[in-house]
Structure 1
């Protein structure tokens, strides 16, 4: 062997110093270089094998390093090793293992884990060929030596990770190999392995609990694919049950039993297994959950109970489906017998324990839903589950509502699981659920002043949850089923009139308003209750609550409430506007005063104010005056702040002023959400005030500082005004566009293009003169930004350019689709050619299927417009020289992924482009394909003829399918 001439001195001692985590950078770099050298050399690694087999180094980092080198050889170069070198690997591992048996102290865990990985990799590479006695050799050597058993068990877990673990992705070849390994193990060694586990569990359960736990983990991992009879027998299960009573072992024993229960098997056998296990656990006293104080164990035990319950549900489902009535009945009986234990765990004060059995509970309810009739016992179970869910939905004293952390987040998630149970209960027995909620709700509301907040909150929460649990079309809970309608109306009447909205707790306040808005249609039935709810929204209970969290949420809910019920508020409009006036004030930047509502919350308030004004029954003049009084303070503040910004030199203060200006524009924009179109704006007499807003806001576009924030807000306002003012906005667009095209970045342009596209699509020929004027400046600005150099690894810049490119093509698509293609045609031959070539490039060369698809849509449209006999002069030549090649070359590119859905859509547009060329050019196009172009791509005359025949067929679907097959074949 090559290594016989190598001694320990051959190892680079200086490089080894760099393995210490505290070593200086040069040493660490040298160690890395040495590692690479040993990895790549065909035999230098052997020095590491010798160091391990002879125990030449005491330093843990050096030992780990040697195993890493060995790991690399086995993982990536095993097939290239000579027979002698493969033998050296086996000898090294066995010598190292033998040395462990004699060590007084075991190696550090990280070294043992790495050694186990190397053993496992060797096993995977050699078990089927060179080392069939792998397990026999290891077991013969280690016997019941604790150090040896530890390595053996770690190796088994490492083998599981390599061969069985479904979370790890394997190639098809690896899957075949792993299947063969498992089949061979089943034939040759699994009984011996199981016997070794039994001996380890029995021998070490008291003296070495950590080894016993390791072994239990191994059993749990392997039971999924070995013969279950090897484990699920009296001898083995009795040992596991005994270990369930040993404090240091019982959690791991629980997990092991869970894996056994989880194994797929015949439903009758599974029921028998579960039942025998349950009887044993019951006899041993494990079902007395209240007497168990160890919550960690109960968390494991509840998971086991959940597994047993779900296994029984699955067995029942299979047996019922197969028509095995007798066996299904016995399984259902077994299932019912577990419900008392399920309830104990579901109601446990520890939420983790409760959450572990939610799956079993949910599945049990699903079984009940499928039964033709419920027994009294089953109804009692349903009621008990309801009470458990209601109890567990309740907050505890420690919940921090103002500063929610991880514990609070976990409870919120747990509540979502309980809500699933409530929804399922509603499907099984809606009447029982309604009765239970009504009982809890009524009892609580009768005396809410004397009830703890958590009980008040959960009572209202249950009413809220009924809204999703009980089916209703478009929230129509107050029509249809009389019992449901009457009960819900009764509870809503009580909620609004009993005074609980005054309860001084964040959670109750929030739940009150959430529920009022969830059932806002109730107030259409009983509008006389609207004033008292409005007052709750407007006073210290809602928008002026002490809690910022409540105020913020109530602002949104108030907006929703107004939008649904504005028709019933005509008499309150001006009163509401007066009461919220101070909440609509634009907060001055950084004056040290914290406003009641954030700017985001104020958006909802302005929207609500707009809805009230627009939908009220006041005369037009009054609506006009009210809208002006809403918007004038914003315009006044805007002008003052803009003047201040132009004089401000400090950047932080500039940013603060720009934000305030942006908010003012945003608020004005939000008021316009009350209008659906120009007609409604005119009917309310509000056209003029919005024009005034435009006059006021547009000068911000020429502000030399904080351009991004200001442009973004004004641009959004223009989008809204195009909808609200329609052609009346057009006089403002040229000047706005001129400012927005000055000194712009990729992101600015990308956001500006949709505005121009919106104008183009809406007004079409009406804006052709404006587009004629702006088209080339816009296109040149895009080209200039696209041409700017960017850092090679700057992902943000690359993404911005990609999005800008897409926006550019989208704009051209809007132009061609709006019938104003003459705007492009009138840009002069040179400019026209430049634009057309960007579209060809986008279609043929860009590795971006979204942009490519748009480009083919544009090309198809241009062929339709200009590709006929009366089309644009010279365009026919352009079709043959550039468009046709793009249609064939793009799908042949390696980046054109035909398995990607977006790319397939692009290919469909490519096919449509070819079809459009045929429609416009006729036989001339087919002749060009058959005689000139396709032969140049080495396409056979037969296939060329075939393609031309398909192009002549009227069914476009046939063409799309053919084109896909054509390019799949061409790329083979």
Structure 2
């Protein structure tokens, strides 16, 4: 018969009548023929699935017909999964009301047919997902329904299902291991809510043991056993179950103890004895050469240590257990010969994760007995350092690594490990003294060298106690062991670690500053692209070295002249190289070459900027005598803004430098702003404007002037006016999206400068401009579907500005400009009312005006005036009532 397509409306209703056992023979024959016809159709299974899901038919025989048809067609996994999902949904809807024999019908249908059993097991897992899975959020009604379903299943069908699982596990163990694994997964899923005695009995456990001996079944059988042990139950019953299973496993020759043994263990003598009887097995598995096996026992080990942590006093045996676990952890932390340090792949990544688990154990060991851990590490470390020249890199690395790990495992008093507890301090000092003086920093393996520098920086406070070791460690950082190591990986990491080391200990390095700067001079060079010689450090690494150099210069002792000379010698090579490269870029025609040059120029600016991070409130640029040095840098870098090629990269770099200089140079930067602004705004695009706004905003908000500096005050006032006029132009010219597209931090900074200009500065011209801006922004963004968050800004900041500005003592209504400011203030209030309506009036009546102690009468009066169409009425009212807070 040719294949044909069917749809739900095409179902032969007459043929379906023949499914009833009491139907006439002719109808039954028609039903059989119809079944055979549908088997040949490609999409009949979808028709049946839809009929079941939508409860098109209430007759159980028709439903069974649909299941049977789907059973014959569902060959591909995705079809079988979809069929199982449909069955599960049908079950959830029908089981409690119309189809109590659901499972018995399916069991009678599938028998021991492998294909049918597959659908049956998939359906059970789908039902578990719909009814039991705790990771799925259910409504209260669904929870109630699911509880009723589980109760009914426990009472009527679970024993039959369990029996079917046992039969399946026995029947398909050899012929269909994939079905056996499916069935084990089902048992593991259902055991959490059914009677455990149905599963945790001799016949089932013996069956599981036999399957744990079969390689294809072992993992699923172990997972099933895990779920049995993991079942929530009374602690006493759980202990009995564990002991029973342990005895069976032990007698059967298995050595795997589930990590959840300690899930609900109470620290009772009997349970603790049973638990500690497993410690030898725990140690055996923890030190297993297979890291996967070891990793599986870490959780159990962690829980055991948690139990010990609760005990007031450890017995000698428990102390021995703790030491045994420590030694096991130390052994397993060790790299193996196959670890590829040059090309770390998936195996290496897995070992790194495994090491993190072991570190977790080490931290817990420190909580149980810090003294034992400290002594164990000291013993291993001291022994290894005595023979490091002949020891393998794995031994040396792990010995130093253990010292490093103590830094997090042991609590530090006041952030330092070398104050407080005398015993701990003395032991750590001894180990650090050994580390920096035994010569191990010369070991010829990258892992050991890296661990040396990491540990030196982890315990940098040690050198505050024993500064005599600083020169030797400095040399290690600076020579072939550190910044000049043959490995780029080591050089890169050391560049960062050296910056941290110097930041902590710069006060002890004054005598070495010139020497250090001389030794790193070649590492500070701007390597031109045509050089052809590979640089020792990447540009990112160089950033750390420049910052380190800056810290040394700025924090050195001596007069400002010394710091100025050192900073100039540090930065002048950058500016000289910058001029030459910029001239080359201006004449370069090849685009790829232009990009390389622009990249190099950007690095130069970034390096100079990074040195400025060394300054602080105590050590300012001016205090260190470095103002002129950075002004020269600005003078050198600003022409790059006019470069016709690679404009984006160069402008971004110079703009970032300007941000730093506004902070560092304060008013000294002002003479450079007009030229910089002209360059950045010439032929600008919206993106240029967008990036310029935060810069100019920072300039207007950053400076503090001397009280008697009238010239500077006037200059600042004119700058503010220009800034607010600039923002007004953007808001009014259809380019408001430039502001809207600023990041949250930038746009808030801009908005607050406008509020500040409207209220705080006694400059009516600037105030008027600010209120014009605020009114425009309310018009643009203040509607209910406007910019997210802006309505809050209106009520928290713009409304108060409209009332607080006229209340300022400096708000002089005899001045014509101030009167104009008042008009713009009134227009802003009208615009807020226009955009927010009654909500605004209600806010004034119930929240804001009462907070100003405005009387209810005046509040009502003001709100009525505010709703008048003529803004002049509001302006005149405010003018009259400008002192409304007075009685």
Q: 1-side partners of 2:215 and 2:152: how far apart?
A: 37
Aligned to 2:874: none
Equivalent runs, 1:100-179 vs 2, <5 Å: 107-179=75-147
* 1:633 corresponds to: 573
Alpha-carbon separation, structure 2, partners of 1:889 and 1:381: 74
2:746 is the counterpart of 1:807 = yes
Give the equivalent residue in structure 2 for 1:306: 259
Q: Give the alignment of 1:734-749 within 5 angstroms.
A: 734-745=674-685, 747-749=687-689
Secondary structure of residue in 2 paired with 1:680: coil
CA distances 1:544-603 after superposition (whole Å, capped 9, x unpaired): 001101000101111111111111111111111111000000011254321001111111
Q: 1:496 aligns with which of 431, 436, 448?
A: 436
Aligned partners of 1:475, 1:551: CA distance in 2, in Å? 28
Match of 2:710 in 1: none
Q: Separation in 2 of the partners of 1:828 and 1:768? A: 11
The residue number in structure 1 matching 2:852 is 919
How far apart are 1:775 and its partner, in Å? Answer: 2.6
User: For the residues of structure 2 that align with 1:340 and 1:212, how far apart are their CA atoms?
Assistant: 33
Query: Contact between 1:806 and 1:850, CA under 8 Å: does it hold in 2?
Result: no
Q: How does 1:811-850 map to 2 (within 5 A)?
A: 811-817=750-756, 826=765, 832-833=771-772, 835-839=774-778, 841-846=780-785, 849-850=788-789
Structure 2 Cα separation of the partners of residues 51 and 883 of structure 1: 77
Deviation, structure 1 residue 886: 5.5
Distance in 2 of aligned mates of 1:52 and 1:536: 89
Shift in alpha-carbon separation, 1:435–1:757, aligned structure 2, 3 A:
same
Q: CA deviation at 1:464?
A: 0.7
Match of residue 465 from structure 2? 525
* Stretch moving more, 350-359 or 161-170: 161-170
Q: Which moved more, 1:506-515 or 1:640-649?
A: 640-649
Q: How far did 1:615 drift?
A: 1.7
Give the direction of change, closer, same or farther, for the CA distance of 1:466–1:733 in structure 2 (3 Å limit): same
Indicate conservation of the 8 Å contact 1:53/1:93, yes or no.
no
C-alpha spacing 1:526/1:822, structure 2 compared with 1 (3 Å)? closer
User: Is the Cα contact below 8 Å between 2:579 and 2:636 reproduced in 1?
Assistant: yes
Which is further off, 343-352 or 532-541? 343-352
**Structure 1 residues 435-455: Cα deviation after superposition (integer angstroms, max 9, x where no partner):** 111111111111111111111
Correspondence list, 1:852-931, <5 A: 852-866=791-805, 872-874=821-823, 877-878=826-827, 881-883=830-832, 914-915=847-848, 919=852, 922-923=855-856, 926-927=859-860
Task: Compute the displacement of 1:918 (Å).
Answer: 5.6
1:422 aligns with 2:362: yes
CA distance in 2, matches of 1:683, 1:70: 85
For residues 450-485 of structure 1, the C-alpha deviation after alignment (integer angstroms, 9 at most, x for no partner) is 111111111111111111111113541111111111
TM-score by length of 2: 0.86
Aligned-residue offset at 1:924: 5.3
Equivalence for 2:66: 92
The alpha-carbon deviation at position 883 of structure 1 amounts to 3.0
Q: CA deviation at 1:625?
A: 1.2
Q: CA deviation at 1:174?
A: 3.5
Matched, 1:680 2:620: yes
Further displaced range: 451-460 or 394-403: 394-403
Listed one character per residue, the Cα deviations across residues 288-308 of structure 1 (whole Å, up to 9, x for unaligned) are: xxxxxxxxxxxxx4xx52123
Is the Cα contact below 8 Å between 1:386 and 1:422 reproduced in 2?
yes
Corresponding residue to 1:610 among 550, 570, 588: 550
Change (3 A) 1:534 1:764: closer
SS in 2 for 1:357: helix
Change over 3 Å in CA distance of 1:860–1:121 after alignment to 2: same
CA contact (8 A) 2:690 2:741 kept: no
Q: Displacement, 1:281?
A: 0.4
Match of 1:669 among 609, 628, 635: 609
- 1:24-103 aligned at under 5 Å gives the runs 43=9, 54=35, 56=37, 63=42, 65-68=43-46, 70-71=48-49, 74-75=52-53, 78=54, 81=56, 83=58, 88-97=62-71, 99=72
Distance of aligned partners of 1:822 and 1:620 in 2 relative to their CA distance in 1, 3 Å threshold: closer
Q: More displaced, 273-282 or 117-126? A: 117-126
Residue number in structure 1 paired with 2:329: 389
Residue 11 (structure 1) aligned with residue 1 (structure 2): no
Aligned alpha-carbon RMSD (Å) = 3.5
Any conservation in 1 of the 2:229–2:260 contact (CA below 8 Å)?
A: yes
SS in 1 for 2:398: helix
Stretch of structure 1 that moved more, 377-386 or 807-816: 807-816
Give CA-to-partner distance per residue, 1:714-753, whole Å, 9 cap, x none.
2222222222211111222232233333444555444433
Q: 2:450 aligns with which of 502, 510, 518?
A: 510
Q: Is the 8 A contact 1:548 1:596 kept in 2?
A: yes
Structure 2: distance between partners of 1:833 and 1:46: 76
The answer on whether the counterparts of 2:778 and 2:831 sit within 8 Å (CA) in structure 1 is no
Helix, strand or coil at the partner of 1:54:
helix
Candidates 770, 776, 780, aligned match of 2:725: 776
Counterparts of 1:283-432 in structure 2, within 5 Å, are 283-287=251-255, 301=256, 305-308=258-261, 310-311=262-263, 314-316=264-266, 320=267, 328-432=268-372
Determine if contact 1:542/1:554 at 8 Å carries over to the other structure.
yes
Q: Which sections of structure 1, spanning at least 5 residues, go unmatched? A: 1-6, 13-37, 101-105, 288-300, 321-327, 789-796, 893-906, 935-951, 953-972
Residue equivalent to 2:197? 229
